[in-house]
Amino acid sequence: MKTSFTRTLGAALMGATLLTAGLASAEEMKIGVVGPLTGPAATSGIAMRDAYQFVADEVNAAGGIEMNGEKVTLNLIFEDSASRPEMGVSAAQKLLTRDNVDLMIGDTFASSVTIALMDVAASYGKFVMSGQPVSSEIARKVESSPEQFANFWKGSWNSDAYAVAVYEAVEGLTEAGKFDPGSKKIAFVFEDTDYGKSNAEYALPLFTEAGWSEVAHEAVPLGHADFYPQLSKLRAEQPDVLVSIFTSVNSGVALVKQIKETGLDTLHVAIYYPLRPEFHEGVGSDSEGMLWTPMLFDPVNNEKHKALAERLAEKNIVANGDHAQGYCQFALLVDNLKRAGTFDPAQLSEAFGTSAFDCYTGRFVYDTTNHSPKIGPDFLPVAVAQVQEGVSRAVWPATSATAEFK
């Protein structure tokens, strides 16, 4: 019967020095994963779960990971956060105590959950990484308490990456003569979460410093679907650009359909939700012409992405951007475990700090001051896409573009 890597480690340390990291006789490493398997972000959480498991299955099929000269297999234990901080904390406590996992990933999706469980996880002295959460508050916590969070690492960039992508796309298209900003009025509609608020927080100053004026700053609850009050205000203000930020696909579908219904004439730039295929299925042709970011996965025009989609299809997984992120984040963890040769938090953190890991979504290199991946053409690109004749095509920046902005 397989034993917990941690339990075996405890037994081996009897009579051994505390300097010994890992255990040659161990057979299994337990990795706890906290993410939304129910609730408004369940589709993304389930996609991340499936991608993580896909990588783990490949590793195990190849014989596992070598730790101190012996191979160990990976046992992933998933717990549901439902995108709720209190559930995420409870899930993390279960994994760290009852399941006694050797390391943990949490949250796979929700920034608010990650922020809540960071303190709890740090108290157990084990390595922890997050998945998709991008809130810059996570990076700020690491930077403000480097000793406390020395062994916490983000799997995705910070909120300002989306803000910069949106701003540079609008300004770049304007400078290229492809978009007329009119009176340079901008509006924000976003979900009232750490994710939504942080994205708006970073985007607004970029635009105001460039002479734009904000005419609406509308926060709505997670999963909100009635935007008629907000759209009534927007029709009166006539913004040249509307930035919407949701993790809930239902919110995105509702907003886009209601924009079409009410006839609001604006350049709509969406953050996150259009990367989900069910958004396009639900909204139909009403999304024509809108911009969105991040376009992380384009298996039609990108040969590397096509190769990943074909690999996942062999396991009956219809790949999307969540799968691509999940695959690369877990593959990054595996690569660093192999380089460290141990799950010892300090040594694994050292491996993360020296990462230069190439994957389908880009190259993972870390800013060691805040434990966040770097962005840019040489690192993780944040592409902006436009829906053209029902197909999303990258239009910004030029290094990622597969089509011209229309």
What tens digit of pLDDT does each residue of 353-392 get?
999 999 999 999 999 999 999 998 889 989 999 999 999 9
Instruction: State whether 202 and 343 are in the same domain.
Output: no
Decide if 323 is inside a domain.
yes
β-partners of residue 188 are 217, 243
What single-letter DSSP state applies at residue 37? S
Give the ranges where 244-301 is alpha helix by DSSP (H). Answer: 249-262, 277-283
Decide if 222 is inside a domain.
yes
Structure tokens at 242: 């509307």
Residues of the chain by 3-state class (helix, strand, coil), percent to 5: 40, 20, 35
pLDDT in the model for residue 276: 85
Decide if 403 is inside a domain.
no
Residue range of the domain that includes 283: 160-298+381-396
Whole-prediction pTM: 0.79
Decide if 406 is inside a domain.
no
Instruction: State whether 69 and 110 are in the same domain.
Output: yes
Structure tokens at 312: 């996942």
Domains in the chain, number: 2
CA distance 16 to 277: 53
Instruction: State whether 226 and 294 are in the same domain.
Output: yes
CA distance 206 to 21: 47
CB atoms within 10 A of CB 120: 16
- DSSP string of 156-181, one letter each residue: S--THHHHHHHHHHHHHHHHTTS---
Instruction: State whether 30 and 130 are in the same domain.
Output: yes
CA distance 33 to 86: 15
Instruction: State whether 291 and 341 are in the same domain.
Output: no
Decide if 405 is inside a domain.
no
Residue ranges in the chain whose pLDDT is less than 70? 1-26
Q: Vertex 47, ends 40 and 114: CA angle to 5°?
A: 60
Instruction: State whether 148 and 201 are in the same domain.
Output: no
> Is residue 296 within 8 Å of residue 22, measured between CB atoms?
no
β-partners of residue 186 are 214, 241
What single-letter DSSP state applies at residue 201? H
Instruction: State whether 251 and 323 are in the same domain.
Output: no
> Is residue 246 within 8 Å of residue 272, measured between CB atoms?
yes
Instruction: State whether 181 and 144 are in the same domain.
Output: no
Structure tokens at 246: 């949701």
CA distance 366 to 71: 28
CA distance 111 to 138: 8
Decide if 402 is inside a domain.
no
The CATH code of the domain that includes 56 is: 3.40.50.2300
Decide if 404 is inside a domain.
no
CA distance 250 to 154: 27
Decide if 358 is inside a domain.
yes
CA distance 380 to 30: 29
pLDDT in the model for residue 198: 86
Instruction: State whether 291 and 214 are in the same domain.
Output: yes
Instruction: State whether 168 and 310 are in the same domain.
Output: no
